[in-house]
Structure 1
Amino acid sequence: MMSILASILSACATNKLPPIATVPQVDLPKFMGDWYVIAAIPTMIETQSFNAIENYKLNADGSIATTFTFNKGSLTGEFKTYQPHGFVIENSGNALWGMQFIWPIKAEYRIAYLNDDYTQTVIARNARDYVWIMARTPSISDTEYAKLTGFVSNLGYDLSKLRKVPHNTSKVNHP
C-alpha cells in the first residue's frame, strides 16, 4: 500500500512539460487524403499494425471522416478498419482536433509539425503518451526519419517507445 501511495505522490511531483504547440494554420482540404503511419508510439489497437494508413475526408459540416486501416500482426495479417470522427477545434488554425472513437470521449489530436508541401506530419498529444509520424508515401528517407524523430524527441517524448510501422510497398492495404 505504501509503495502505491509513494508512486502516486511521485507522479504528482514530476515536472509538467509545457503544452505542445501546433502549427499556425492547416489548409484542411490540402490535409485530406491518405497518410501512411511511418512510426508511432502506438495506442493499444496499433501495437501490431502493419501497412497502417489514416485517411481523412472533410464533411460538409466541417467535421473529419476518418478511416484508419491496417493489417494486424504482419504485412498480410487480418485487415482491420476503424472509423473515428475528427472535430476541428475553433480558433486553432485547424491544427487542433478532437478525435472521437467512442461517444462522448474526444481524444486530443495536435498537428505539431506539417511540412510546406503537406507530405509529412507529426500528430502529438500534450500527455506525450501517443505520437504519429506520417507521410503521403509508405516510406521516407533515413535523413527525413531522423529529422522527424528528433522533432518528436524535442517535444518530450521517450523515443524508446517509438515503433516503426512496416509497410508492404508493393501493394496498398485497401481492399
Structure 2
Amino acid sequence: MSLSRILLMALGLLVAGNAARAAEPPIAPVAHVDLPRFMGRWYVIATIPTRFERNAYDPVETYTLQPDGNVYTEFHFRDGGFGEPLKAIHSTGFVKPGSGNAVWGVQVFWPIKAQYIVAYLKDDYSQTIVARDARDYTWIMARTPTVSAADYDALVARVVRMGYPAAKIRKAPQQSPAAAD
C-alpha cells in the first residue's frame, strides 16, 4: 500500500471520527444550580482527567462564590501518591447568563475559558457530575471522599449515557477528609 493511500485513509478516519463526535448531542445541563448551596468542598470520586490531574490522589475541588458572581476555584491534589506534597491549581468560573447557573466558563489560563456543565446534581447537593460537550473530560464528585458502590455504579452509568467511554474513567484515590487540609 502506498504512503499516499495510507495518509488518505488516515485522513478519512480522522474526519469520520470528528463527524461522529459532532453527531453527539450537546450535554444537557441541570435546570438550575443554587450557587451558594453548590459552593464548598467537593471530593473527586472519579474522572476522565486533564493532563494536570492524571495521577491525582486526594483530589478536592473547593468553590467560593465571589461578590461579582464569579466562582473562585481551588483544586488540591497529591501528584502520584498519598505521601506526595499537596499541590493546588486555582481558577475562576464565569457563570453563563441564562444557564440556570449550570454552565460556566472556567479559566485557568487567560484568555482560555473551558466549558463546564453541571450535568447532574443530586437533589440534596451531595453528588454532582461535571461534563463537557467535547466529552474529553468529566468529573464525578461528592461531598464525602467516598460513595457507596451502588452510587458509584449509578454515577458512572450516567456518565456513560452522556456519551463518555467507560474505559477512560479513572476512580480517584481518596484517603480521608483530612487529607486535603
TM-score between the two structures when normalised by the length of structure 2: 0.92
Aligned to 1:118: 125
Mean alpha-carbon deviation: is it higher for 130-139 or for 72-81? 72-81
How well do the aligned residues superpose, as a CA RMSD in angstroms?
1.2
Q: What residue is the counterpart of 2:109 in the other structure? A: 102
Bigger proportion of residues as helix: 2
Separation of aligned partners in 2, 1:11 and 1:170: 41
Residues 92-129 of structure 1, C-alpha deviations (whole Å, 9 max, x = no match): 00000000011111000000000111010000000110
| Residues 1:86 and 2:96 are matched in the alignment | no
- Structure 1 residue 11 corresponds to structure 2 residue 9: no
Q: Distance in 1 between matches of 2:111 and 2:177?
A: 39
**Would you say the 8 A contact 2:145–2:177 is kept in 1?**
no
Partners of 2:108 and 2:14 lie apart in 1 by 29
Q: In the alignment, which residue of structure 1 is the partner of 2:68?
A: 61
Counterpart pick for 1:148 among 150, 155, 173: 155
Structure 1: how far apart are the matches of 2:148 and 2:25? 30
1:172 positional shift: 2.4
| Displacement after TM superposition at 1:77 (Å) | 1.2
Matched residues in 2 for 1:47 and 1:167: separation?
A: 14
Any stretches of 5+ residues in structure 2 without a counterpart? 1-6
Structure 1: how far apart are the matches of 2:100 and 2:167? 31
Distance 1:11 1:112 in 2: 24
Distance 2:79 2:104 in 1: 26
- The amino acid across from 1:158 in the alignment is P
TM-score, normalised on structure 1? 0.95
**Unpaired stretches in structure 1, ≥5 consecutive residues:** none
Alignment match, 1:74: 81
Shift of 1:3: 4.2
Give the partner amino acid of 1:59. Answer: Q
C-alpha distance in 2 between matches for 1:14 and 1:38: 29
Give identity over the alignment, percent. 46
Q: CA deviation at 1:13?
A: 3.6
Letter in 2 for 1:39: A
Alignment size in residue pairs: 174
